[in-house]
């Protein structure tokens, strides 16, 4: 398997191509003066040799000190051959009473403030251009509008960012000053809100889609695909690639629905969801479809004449299917469900199927969902399989005591798995 660091991919639908591997310049701001220039020069030389031509920076990195050496390092390059991104949301104002610490030359006579207003965003872009010694920025990102950095001020900062920073960057994009705009944070949940409220080209999800953290897979990446930002594309060199929806699917993303057409679509979505997953709640529908809870409730309300309350609480189901009564529990035979089985993917609250005391064994975190053994629709353990020398060994790890009849049924399931794979079941 090969990896081409220099291969270019388009950002959203904009005329900007980034290399598959980019250079993050936060460390540039923490280098000591004695060796900083040498390290930056060596980094830029290595990047030129290896192929990465995308460089990301921010005023926050080193309190502005990361942008200066990056600009110096880019002086020897052809500007059109590199892509440069920076961020907005923090400003530095002169201050002799509360200077910022710095590793280059001691303290800096500035105080840092959060400011996502329209005018502050324009000021931030101008300041970055000066520090970078560049005539343009290709990608601008709204930076750190999340609870980690904003705490109890998150909602106020979000409103300020959408009314100010987003409006300013959108205008600069329309003028051709910036090619693409987005948001850069450390958690994907807030990015779902930005995706719903604005026309963004890209998102920078820092450290939250890695080999150990797959939590963005279930909702965030599918939402990007739904909006035509990117979808799973063709396989190349044994790797799954992403591509624009219009390029891979051969169609322009659909125009968002509005009015009566949108109401009908929500109603039909709710009906089809219950047909496959009922009984369920509005929160379940919202989780499965990636919709705001208000839209899920609107869809269910639109088909109120077709549903009935099932199981108490907020659970509802299609009346047409319930007319004959609930299926007897005996019909829910013991099963060995594979990892990520849809039976456990379609709900917000899975306690009806997985005992709360054992939830961590089924959902260990990082977006993982293990293979489970069920009886009467309830998880009774997890299971794994090992294949060797034409034989399949199945091991069930129970949550507690499993009745003999259920153990026998699960053993029959294991035999069926082996038969399906053309293997001999190891006893």
- Within-domain flag for 290: yes
Q: Are residues 61 and 123 in the same domain?
A: yes
DSSP label at 163? I
Q: Are residues 22 and 90 in the same domain?
A: yes
- Within-domain flag for 3: no
Whole-prediction pTM: 0.57
Q: Are residues 129 and 236 in the same domain?
A: yes
Here the tokens at position 212 are: 């150990």
Q: What is the side-by-side order of every strand in the sheet holding 372-375?
A: 335-337, 372-375, 378-388, 391-398, 424-425
Here the tokens at position 106 are: 């001691």
- Within-domain flag for 1: no
- Within-domain flag for 2: no
* Residue 330: predicted pLDDT: 45
Q: Are residues 383 and 420 in the same domain?
A: yes
15 burial type by CB count under 10 A (0-12 exposed, 13-18 middle, 19+ buried): exposed
User: Residues 15, 63, 80, 87: which is the catalytic one?
Assistant: 87
Cα distance between residue 90 and residue 120, in whole Å: 8
* Residue 1: predicted pLDDT: 47
Q: Are residues 153 and 176 in the same domain?
A: yes
- Within-domain flag for 42: yes
Give the CATH number of the domain where residue 194 resides. Answer: 3.20.20.100
- Within-domain flag for 146: yes
- Within-domain flag for 208: yes
* Residue 348: predicted pLDDT: 74
Q: Is 56 a catalytic residue?
A: yes
Q: Are residues 209 and 357 in the same domain?
A: no
User: Residues 56, 115, 144, 317: which is the catalytic one?
Assistant: 56
Cα distance between residue 203 and residue 180, in whole Å: 10
Cα distance between residue 183 and residue 87, in whole Å: 8
Of 226, 248, 270, the position where a domain reaches its end is 248
Beta partners for residue 142, in sequence order: 88, 183
Spatial contact of 116 and 145, defined as CB atoms under 8 Å apart: yes
Q: Are residues 283 and 365 in the same domain?
A: no
Q: Are residues 244 and 171 in the same domain?
A: yes
Here the tokens at position 363 are: 């959902």
Q: pLDDT in tens for each of the 427 residues of the chain?
A: 466 778 887 787 788 888 888 888 888 876 655 566 778 888 888 888 888 889 999 998 887 788 888 888 888 788 888 999 999 999 988 876 766 665 455 556 778 899 999 999 999 999 999 999 888 999 999 999 998 899 999 999 999 999 999 999 999 999 989 999 999 998 888 998 998 899 898 898 887 776 667 778 777 887 877 776 655 555 555 555 556 655 655 555 556 678 898 899 999 999 998 888 878 889 888 877 777 889 999 999 999 999 888 766 778 888 887 565 555 444 578 999 988 787 777 677 777 788 888 988 888 765 567 889 999 888 999 998 888 888 889 999 999 999 999 999 999 999 998 998 888 888 7
Q: Is 360 a catalytic residue?
A: no
- Within-domain flag for 284: yes
Q: Are residues 408 and 312 in the same domain?
A: no
* Residue 100: predicted pLDDT: 60
- How far CA 354 is from CA of 47, 329, 358, in Å, comes to 49, 16, 7
Cβ neighbours of residue 383 under 8 Å, at least 6 residues apart?
336, 371, 372, 373, 394, 395, 396, 397, 410
- How far CA 183 is from CA of 140, 224, 286, 304, 355, in Å, comes to 8, 13, 23, 38, 38
Q: Are residues 63 and 160 in the same domain?
A: yes
Beta partners for residue 240, in sequence order: 235
Count the domains in the chain: 3
Give the CATH number of the domain where residue 303 resides. Answer: 1.10.10.10
* Residue 62: predicted pLDDT: 80
Q: Are residues 289 and 230 in the same domain?
A: no
Here the tokens at position 115 are: 């400011």
Here the tokens at position 11 are: 């950002």
Q: Are residues 298 and 394 in the same domain?
A: no
Of 280, 302, 322, the position where a domain reaches its end is 322
Of 248, 279, 296, the position where a domain reaches its end is 248
Alpha carbon 299 to its chain centroid, in Å, reads 25
For residue range 84-95, what is the model confidence (pLDDT) as tens digits? 999 999 998 887
Write out the residue range of the structural domain in which residue 347 sits. Answer: 330-425
* Residue 421: predicted pLDDT: 84
């Amino acid at each position: 398997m090969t990896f081409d660091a220099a291969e270019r991919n388009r950002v959203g639908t904009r005329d900007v191509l980034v290399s598959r591997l980019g250079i993050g310049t936060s460390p540039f701001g923490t280098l000591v003066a004695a060796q900083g220039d040498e390290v930056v020069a060596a980094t830029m030389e290595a990047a030129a040799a290896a192929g990465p031509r995308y460089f990301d920076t921010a005023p926050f990195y080193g309190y502005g000190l990361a942008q200066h050496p990056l600009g110096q390092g880019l002086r020897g390059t052809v500007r059109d051959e590199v892509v440069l991104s920076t961020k907005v949301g923090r400003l530095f104002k002169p201050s002799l009473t509360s200077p910022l610490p710095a590793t280059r030359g001691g303290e800096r006579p500035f105080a840092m403030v959060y400011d996502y207003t329209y005018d502050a965003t324009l000021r931030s872009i101008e300041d970055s251009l000066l520090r970078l010694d560049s005539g343009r920025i290709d990608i601008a990102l709204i930076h750190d509008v999340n609870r980690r950095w904003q705490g109890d001020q998150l909602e106020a900062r979000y409103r300020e960012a959408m009314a100010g920073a987003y409006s300013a960057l959108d205008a600069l994009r329309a003028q051709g000053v910036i090619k693409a705009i987005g948001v850069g944070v450390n958690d994907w949940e807030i990015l779902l809100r930005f995706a719903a409220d604005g026309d963004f080209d890209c998102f920078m999800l820092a450290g939250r889609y890695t080999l150990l953290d797959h939590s963005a897979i279930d909702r965030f990446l599918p939402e990007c695909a739904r909006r035509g930002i990117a979808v799973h594309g063709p396989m190349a060199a044994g790797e799954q690639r992403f591509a624009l929806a219009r390029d891979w699917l051969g169609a322009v993303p659909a125009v968002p629905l509005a009015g009566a057409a949108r109401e009908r679509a929500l109603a039909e979505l709710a009906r089809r969801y219950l047909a496959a997953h009922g009984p369920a709640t509005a929160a379940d529908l919202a989780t499965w479809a990636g919709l705001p809870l208000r839209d899920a409730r609107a869809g269910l309300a639109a088909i109120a004449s077709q549903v009935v309350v099932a199981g108490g609480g907020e659970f509802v189901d299609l009346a047409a299917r319930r007319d004959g009564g609930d299926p007897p529990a005996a019909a829910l035979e013991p099963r060995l469900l594979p990892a990520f089985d849809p039976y456990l993917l379609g709900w917000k609250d899975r306690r009806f199927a997985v005992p709360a005391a054992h939830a961590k064994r089924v959902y260990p975190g990082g977006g993982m969902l293990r293979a489970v053994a069920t009886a009467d629709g309830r998880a009774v353990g997890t299971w794994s399989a090992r294949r060797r020398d034409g034989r399949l060994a199945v091991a069930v790890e129970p949550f507690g005591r499993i009745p003999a009849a259920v153990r026998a049924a699960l053993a029959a399931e294991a035999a069926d798995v082996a038969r399906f794979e053309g293997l001999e079941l190891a006893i």
